[in-house]
Chain A
């Protein structure tokens, strides 16, 4: 694609303003610091930790790509993606008697339906997306816990074995993630839906006034988010050979961190799936580094919390620059 104006998300960030350049410098410095930390951490460059890194990145990444659609559409984020992940994983395991493909389709359809309903409420009723997602979180958690009685579901035999294998020597989760990123980026950059998503996210009123149908676009964004999240649910359930409500805990938070660290604008209309891939990679590296240094999960949350705060502050600066 030769034309940069058409495929803005692919364009290298070459800011015109001083503020923008400072921002790029800060990002570069952060990445260098991360590389330095990785290089000096014993055991980072071993097969085991690299594999765990790539798996972590793939799971976070799939949800992050889904979240990217929501953020781009101007609806900030959804708190309900974690439970969407968990419940899709449960549906996948429960539906395995239908065969692997059937179970996957069932889980994907379920995930898309969960977020689709939220998207419809947000799009057609202009409801506050954060509140809707929190209500959905409560509803889904409550409903799912009632039905499963808090128990996990487990597959018969090794029906999920194909998901633990490799494709062209690449672990399945990573492969699925890469395919997701490519597909999402193609949708964003080269389809009418993608372009309209940027418009709606950039300025809802203007999109409405121009004769687009913003509510439909937002619905589409949420369905895309549900599909990506359900895929993460399938991959995780497959990897751990079980489905329960614990699967997705913390993933909406990791995902929005990845989206923001990648540089997608929290206010919508600017960003890409590729950026979220980079964000997911950085978050995963941080997690593995903290793990290798023996820090607990609580400290990981703390660290990622700080990173997100700093990124949001930098974004505000960039908007003013």
Chain B
């Protein structure tokens, strides 16, 4: 199959139209050079963008070469998404310009960006679940004539998928029947058929399993071999090292450095992102372990988890490691009472607990911090104060009437405990950063007698490197007060870093059980991907 010819990026028609006749040499002498790959395809020059008094981007210039995969790293709020939105025509820069093939162009709308060959693989995929793969690939394309079931279009769609190593995806099945990873491949194929020259991926792997991540990476390498470029935005440093040729680090809206990844070690990269030495990311191991706080015996979730058994002692952090879909997250939500058809024996501090009701679980000291903060973590429209005291209204009310003073005092104390500035008590919860919102969720779980169980799903999802260390310290300090902490995570580094006990899970079955120090990332990967099993 002559994939190459069919998919060769055609000369971009829109580029000429939108191009303003500004010669590249007038753009100043701070001309950045692509650090890898061929001649620069897309770049930005002296880009500035402010929102009110806050400068989101300050004088950012960079260039991405043909066939280069460039990582973009930085903490939350560093300016990554502003940069992406300018490149894709969502925002217009206050100063500076986007440069395509050495010519400054105006990218005023997302459509113009597409015409210039700049395409983003949306985080919330923009596919129609009920339409077929082929229809999705061509949906909205200008090349499609009125009667669109043409063999030629079908072949191009098939070729695009084949190029990405995804020929196993049938063109006629509805997208709804595909996994998240396959949908992402379809989305990329769709952009390729539109002659995208630069693909932007923003945290593409957050919802994917490791096998699917491998597939996406293979697809990106194929894209790169085509001479197209990729802009890869992620919090996961391991992925930067796996897939990227070079990395640009943003901090507080400024471009700190653009470096090839050869010879840049991980500590140095983190220090670039933080602007200071990284210090110790993970807390010490548990000092003292107490009595069993949570004993789970034979927990089953039909079709998801089979016969899960474990014990969490006071003072311990127990990690359940598994890929998305392995059942790790579901075990946590089931123990929190949020799953209806869970069965099995669960004892909290020696007393049996009937699953299925979060309110009942909460009364017995089981607190749940969701991995999905926006959907089930914080009350975004309510104040920080109201969020902090959300679960303790009963103890601060008299005959159903709230005691304002007592609530304020309680909130203020909780804020101090989890490290939220007390002046922000009146701010709306959605004005806080992801890290601070997570602290809010923590604060809510603090009880007066610290003998409860804290359940967490993906405790640091979407939280930047700086705030992560704080969250881990907070988790450890909870344990030292007498809590048992049980968490599910798909971030292996995190699991090895914080887990006193690590339980590995593969397709709903327990694989291994390790103590801290016995476990390595390789061991976990082997367990949760179970190659012997997956091969069949």
Do A and B come from the same complex? Answer: yes
Alpha-carbon distance between A210 and B388 when the two chains are bound, in angstroms: 11
Q: In the complex where A5-B386, A192-B402, A196-B393 touch, is A208 in contact with B361 (Cβ < 8 A)? A: no
CB-CB contacts below 8 Å: B355-400 with A: 358-359, 361-363, 367-368, 370, 375-386, 390-391, 393-394, 397, 400
Stretch at the interface among A108-116, A198-206, A294-302: A198-206
Given contacts A208-B338, A209-B358, contact A191 B400 (CB under 8 A): yes
29 cross-chain CB contacts under 8 A: A5-B384, A5-B426, A6-B385, A6-B402, A6-B404, A6-B407, A8-B382, A8-B386, A190-B401, A190-B402, A191-B400, A195-B386, A195-B393, A202-B379, A202-B380, A205-B375, A207-B390, A208-B376, A209-B338, A209-B376, A211-B359, A211-B362, A211-B363, A211-B367, A212-B390, A213-B359, A269-B379, A269-B381, A269-B382
Instruction: Give Cα A211 to B393, complex, Å.
Output: 12
Cβ–Cβ < 8 Å partners of A198 in chain B: 379, 382, 386
B425 an interface residue at 8 Å Cβ cutoff?
A: yes
B358 contacts A6, C-beta separation under 8 Å: no
Chain B residues contacting A5 (CB-CB under 8 Å) are 383-386, 408, 425-426
Q: What 9 A-B pairs are tightest by C-beta distance, nearest first?
A: A211-B362, A205-B376, A5-B426, A202-B379, A209-B376, A5-B385, A202-B381, A192-B393, A5-B383
Query: In the complex, which residues of chain A have a beta carbon less than 8 angstroms from the beta carbon of B370?
Result: 206, 209
CB within 8 Å of B: which of A1-35?
A: 1, 3-8, 18
CA distance A70 to B405 in the complex (A): 29
Number of residues on chain B facing chain A (CB within 8 A): 37
Chain A's closest residue to B385 (CB) is A5
Complex CA–CA separation, A180 to B174 (angstroms): 54
Q: How near does chain B come to A219, taking the closest CB pair, in angstroms?
A: 14
A residues in contact with B358, CB < 8 Å: 208-211
Closest residue of chain B to A16 (Cβ to Cβ) is: B431
Distance in Å: Cβ of A242 to nearest Cβ of chain B: 38
Q: Does B336 contact A (CB under 8 A)?
A: yes
User: Which B residues are CB-close (under 8 A) to A7?
Assistant: 404
Instruction: Identify which of A18, A193, A205, A210 gathers the most chain B CB atoms within 10 Å of its CB.
Output: A210
Contacts of B401 in A (CB 8 A): 190-192
Contact A3:B404 (CB < 8 A) given known A192-B394, A195-B386, A209-B336: yes
A201 (CB) vs chain B CBs: closest residue: B381
A contact residues around B385 at 8 Å (CB): 5-6
Interchain nearest-CB distance for A131 vs B (Å): 22
B444 at the A interface (CB under 8 A) = yes
Chain B 147-183 per-residue mask, 1 if CB under 8 angstroms from chain A, else 0 = 0000000000000000000000000000000000000
Over the window 277-320 of chain A, the binary record of Cβ atoms lying under 8 Å from chain B Cβ atoms (1 yes, 0 no) is 00000000000000000000000000000000000000000000
The one of B52, B379, B382, B408 that contacts A3, using a Cβ cutoff of 8 Å: B408
In whole Å, how far is A220's beta carbon from the nearest beta carbon of chain B?
11
The number of residues on chain A lying at the interface, defined by a beta carbon within 8 Å of a beta carbon of chain B, is 30
Q: Min CB distance, A275 to chain B, in Å?
A: 15
How many contacts between A and B, using CB within 8 angstroms?
Answer: 99
Query: With the chains together, A206 CA to B382 CA distance in Å?
Result: 12
In the complex, which residue of chain B has the Cβ closest to the Cβ of A196?
A: B393
> Which chain A residues lie closer than 8 Å to B397 at the CB level?
191-192
Contact A1-B404, Cβ < 8 Å, known A192-B394, A195-B386, A198-B386: yes
Most chain B Cβ neighbours within 10 Å, of A4, A6, A196, A199: A6
Q: Does A252 contact B (CB under 8 A)?
A: no
Query: Which A residues fall within an 8 A CB radius of B?
Result: 1, 3-8, 18, 190-193, 195-196, 198-199, 202-203, 205-213, 265, 269-270
CB distance from B403 to the nearest CB of A (A): 9
Asked whether A203 lies within 8 Å of B376 as measured between CB atoms, the reply is: yes
Given contacts A6-B408, A191-B397, A191-B401, could you give 18 more A-B pairs where the C-beta distance is less than 8 Å? A4-B426, A5-B385, A5-B426, A6-B407, A8-B386, A192-B400, A198-B386, A199-B386, A202-B380, A203-B378, A203-B380, A206-B377, A209-B377, A210-B390, A210-B444, A211-B358, A211-B359, A265-B381
CB distance from A241 to the nearest CB of B (A): 38
Q: Which residues of B contact A203 (CB under 8 A)?
A: 375-376, 378-380
Contacts of B361 in A (CB 8 A): 211
For A267, the closest partner residue in chain B by CB is: B381
Pairwise interchain contact A210-B391, C-beta atoms closer than 8 A: yes
Q: Report the Cα distance A203→B378, complex, angstroms.
A: 8
Residue numbers in B under 8 Å from A18 (CB-CB)? 52
- Pick from A190, A211, A270: contact of B381, CB below 8 A: A270
Distance between Cα atoms of A192 and B407 in the complex (Å): 11
- CB neighbours (8 Å) of B390 from chain A are 199, 207, 210, 212
Cβ–Cβ contact A206 & B379, under 8 A: yes
Report how far A203 CA is from B407 CA in the complex, Å: 21
CA of A164 to CA of B423 in the docked complex: distance in angstroms?
52
Using a CB-CB cutoff of 8 Å, which residues 185-199 of chain B contact chain A? none
Residue of B nearest to A189 (CB): B402
Given contacts A5-B385, A192-B397, A212 and B391 within 8 Å (CB-CB): yes
How far is A190 from B400 in the complex, measured between Cα atoms in Å? 9
Pick the most buried of A190, A198, A206, A213: most chain B CB atoms within 10 A of its CB: A206
